[in-house]
Amino acid sequence: MIKSEPKHQFGGKLRAVRERRGVTLKQVAGRAGVSESLVSQIERNKVSPSIDTLLSIADVLGVDYEYLFSDYRKKGKVDIIRASERSVTRDGQVTMSRLSVREEIPGEHTVEAFMLEVAPGGQTGDLEYGHAGREFGIILDGEAELLYGDDTYTVAKGDTVSFASRIPHILKNRGDATLKAVWIVSPPRQASHK
């Protein structure tokens, strides 16, 4: 059976600090309450230590936890939706193409983004109710009215809008051409965006 290397590798950092400080494997092991063999295997990324063991060794060496985990702050997931793979929803005179991936477990900073296309005279939204969160939109082409509660705003190509979604709102195409806009909602709505 072939052993695979641990997914998370801290060994090189721990060994570099230990050697720089002139501390032996035996000294680290004794102070951390683990075997010298285990410390050696951790340093060579042959085993994945428990969090308690890892933090004990880091404490013995005076390694800052931020430094120890700094590589993981540089890694993240990038979601790409190819233009040909976008999910498209059509509802009457409104077409919405999803620009973002909906998170399985919504987090504090998740957003939902759409390319909106509204035919002349069409509209999206509801003046009866709002929803939690904020919305941001940029008008790419056309002219629209944003009905927001009791107020009405005119927006055109290049304009941006941002507002609290809790106030009932409608975006209405008031021009002769298709209204195109990028629309961002945070947090994502559970149902389809209105």
Q: What are phi and psi of 47, to 5 degrees?
A: -135, 155
* pLDDT for 191: 42
Domain definitions of the chain by residue range: 10-69, 88-186
Whether the per-residue pLDDT at 84 is higher than 70: the answer is: yes
Is the omega angle on the peptide bond into residue 6 within 30 degrees of 0, that is, cis?
no
The answer to whether the beta carbons of residues 138 and 182 sit under 8 Å apart is yes
Q: In whole angstroms, give the CA distance from residue 128 to residue 25.
A: 69
CATH assignment of 88-186? 2.60.120.10
Indicate the class that CATH gives domain 10-69: mainly alpha
**pLDDT computed for residue 74 by the predictor:** 66
pTM: 0.59
How many angstroms separate the CA atoms of 189 and 80, rounded?
A: 20
pLDDT tens-digit readout, 133-172: 899 999 999 999 999 999 999 999 999 999 999 999 999 9
Q: Where are the alpha helices (DSSP H) in 33-132?
A: 36-43, 51-61, 65-73
Give the integer Cα–Cα distance in Å for 33 and 87.
55
